[in-house]
Amino acid sequence: MKKIAGLILLLTIILFAGCSGPAELKPAYAPEPSVAQQVGLTQSVPDVVIFAVSGRCGVPCDGAPDDNYEYLSGRGTTKAVARAFSKLGYSVRVLTYSSHLYNHKSSLSGKWERGFLQLEADFNWVRRHWPKARRVLLGHSHGTNWTHNLLRAHPRWTVDYLIDLDGICTLWEKDNKDDFTDFYRRYGNPWPVDISKSCDVERIKKHRWWTSKYSAKDVAYAGAVYNLEVQSARLLASEVGAEGNTSLVFDYTDNLRLDASRKNIWTFVSKKEDHSGVTEPDSKALEWVSARIAKLGLP
């Protein structure tokens, strides 16, 4: 009897081990998926999930990245992008993150902010548990480095839309150097590339005799089906906020694929809005994004 019971127990263990599989194992470094805690067991599966990553806390900002916080929802940016999909008849859920490797407490927001490792954990949870939900990555400024690096670090992961609002690489590596050093010391590098190096890292052969280096935020990796890229006005924008002119910061590099093509990439250069202005829900930049989504629909 004991032998039979032992055999049944062994078969049960093997069965459950087979069901979970390697894909179900959570890496030691990964936080618990916050999306699973938020939605609950009875939440219906949305048609579209938007993962939005905000940028740097500003210039000057001596506390970056620890003072970085999630601002795209407060500005209405995420709502404007979600509305574009809602108008097509899709249900939408928005998940938001700050520009940081780790979850952290920002002294500027006074809140606990979710970082890249949380984005990675949540994205993986959604793709495994909601496989029919369409996925959208939305990033502003430094946030585009994190959204692009998610696809760079996971070449087999896919998104229907990769939306970039004025991606900037300047200061990103410097800001995050200490956190990556700490992370690699504790866990090693779990990704196929070193994402701490993200500026001028991809060599793209544009012509037979001409190879250029592109930052990760300027590369629409294979996992991105559609890539919508917004660049803010060059130098002096015609509409400058009372806080000062931030249009001296702008994305000046059109995105490319690794094969140097621009397949399914669309770029819009705003003539009016500065670096922050492109995130405003009534901006020409977001009007263009919404119009593109309306025209293209879901791939």
Domain positions in the chain are 44-296
Amino acid of residue 1: M
User: In terms of Cα–Cα distance, which of 111, 139, 118, 136 is closest to 54?
Assistant: 139
Segment holding 37, helix H or strand E: helix 34-39
The pLDDT assigned to 59 comes to 67
The pLDDT assigned to 280 comes to 97
The DSSP bridge pattern shows strands 104-105 and 112-113 to be antiparallel
Map tokens 């996971």 to a residue: 154
Q: Collect all residues with Cβ–Cβ distance below 8 Å to 286 and sequence separation of at least 6.
A: 77, 80, 81, 278, 279, 280
How far apart CA 21 and CA 2 sit, in angstroms, is 29
Amino acid of residue 153: A
What's the CATH number for 44-296?
3.40.50
% helix, strand, coil for the chain, step of 5 = 35, 20, 45
The pLDDT assigned to 237 comes to 47
Segment holding 291, helix H or strand E: helix 284-296
The pLDDT assigned to 109 comes to 87
What is residue 53's three-state secondary structure?
strand
pLDDT digits (tens), the chain, 299 positions:
434 444 433 333 333 333 333 345 678 899 999 987 776 544 689 999 999 999 998 766 788 999 999 999 999 999 999 999 999 999 999 999 999 999 999 888 888 999 999 999 999 999 999 999 999 999 999 999 999 999 999 999 999 999 999 999 999 999 999 999 999 999 999 999 999 999 999 999 887 777 889 999 999 999 999 999 999 987 654 444 433 334 567 888 999 999 999 999 999 999 889 899 999 999 999 999 999 999 999 99
